[in-house]
Amino acid sequence: MEASLKNKRYKKIIVSSPTNTTIQRCYACKNVCNSSQPSAEARFFCRWCKSECVSVVTSRTTPYLCSTCHNVSIPTLGQEKSREVCGICSQVKKIGTKFFKHGYPDNRNKIGTLLSREAPSSMALSSSSSSFPGRHSKRAVLCGVSYTKMKFKLKGTVNDANNMRELLIKNFKFPNECIRVLTEQEKNADLIPTKHNIMESLRWLVKDCQAGDSLVFYFSGHGLQQPDFKEDEIDGFDEALCPVDFIKEGMIIDNDINSTIVWPLKSGVTLHAIVDACHSGTILDLLYVYNLERNIWEDNKPPSKEPIRKHTSGGVAICLSACEDSQSANDSTVFGGKGMNGVLTYLLTKAIREHPQITYGALLDKLQIEIKKINRSRCRSSILQRIFHRKIVQDPLLSSSEKFDVSTKIFAL
């Protein structure tokens, strides 16, 4: 659906639906709204920001994009008048079609949102495939890379992404339409976890972020290290994530992740990165790393002559990694249920569901305790189990753009 919108710039986009809905552009405000023939005007209050709106409605399920908060509401039928009203700026004039093509890229979000709400289920975009959902204070990008056509494929990453998505929706009230999931099972080519698609999604994640926004980047897949040529790493190695096409297109280096989603964070914006991958300890290149044994924040600045930027533009970035930079992360079937799961992802989501008000420090302790329990149970298992199930050696690592008290700060996304 989205590809057809890119290549064809018709005056109208008609969706075959029971209400014969037509998406048009207003001559005055140049925004996209719904109308139909015959049309009716309805006044109602946006269910998000409570501001009064005027919309052309044809049924009790016609969506309206609020001009104040940019969220979608469902109006109810009121007094009907035989005139067309722009659903965005409420101009009572006929919608001009010649202006439709102007500013087209800026309004793809409104088109995608309206189509996904109004079109029949067979035509509607899925919530995770909507490229530009409506404006919300919570937004997330979840990547589960399986490498299905390669020898080093992973079996639990899709389970991990689905597990994290469920946690965000149920425990942290993330709107479904504001979660973008990238896996190799997606039918939309833009949601395959290639290097290009992941980087585009990261840019989408932080675009136009505002004070009060909560952003989440989650990755489950392979992680690697490579020599550091910029002298901005204490250990001399850059950490990197492996997209599905990394052999051809290359890895996503921590420097690029830092400049893409850490630098743009404005004051009042909070970003959480949860990375279930090998060698992912300092994958966001943040200023401070928490030493759990000594209970202190340690400086992550390298002794470089060149000024190294590891800070935000006023916001806060926090990263929880599956292991230290020198360690490997694991996925396992030890947890039961269907298929495999990443150790960090499974234990993290389990701990939060059981302890909704858990602090960062308590969460780190809980993760380490659970990993030790798994290893002890394997030591008591049979010889065959010990042969085929290796010991889990990974220490989850917390890093941040600024110091905070991990013993009192509640883990919240």
**Which sequence positions are flagged as catalytic?**
222, 278
d(CA 34, CA 56): 7
**Do 378 and 372 meet the contact criterion of CB atoms below 8 Å apart?**
no
With CA atoms as reference, report the closest residue to 365 among 411, 403, 304: 411
**Do 232 and 302 meet the contact criterion of CB atoms below 8 Å apart?**
yes
Output the six-digit token pair for 6: 């890119």
**Do 208 and 147 meet the contact criterion of CB atoms below 8 Å apart?**
no
Work out whether strand 214-220 and strand 138-144 pair parallel, antiparallel, or are unpaired: parallel
d(CA 310, CA 232): 9
With CA atoms as reference, report the closest residue to 97 among 7, 12, 9, 5: 12
Q: Which residues pair with 14 in a beta bridge?
A: 22
Q: How far is CA 399 from the centre of its chain?
A: 19
Output the six-digit token pair for 151: 């020898």
d(CA 238, CA 164): 26
Longest CA span, the chain:
80
d(CA 290, CA 401): 11
d(CA 112, CA 109): 5
d(CA 70, CA 112): 13
The 10 Å Cβ neighbour count of residue 5 is: 15
Output the six-digit token pair for 43: 């006044």
Return all residues near 105 (Cβ < 8 A) that are at least 6 apart.
none
Work out whether strand 316-321 and strand 397-400 pair parallel, antiparallel, or are unpaired: antiparallel
Return all residues near 45 (Cβ < 8 A) that are at least 6 apart.
51, 52, 53
Exposure letters 161-182 (e unless 16+ CB within 10 A, then b): bebbbebbbeebebbebbbbbb
The 10 Å Cβ neighbour count of residue 139 is: 24
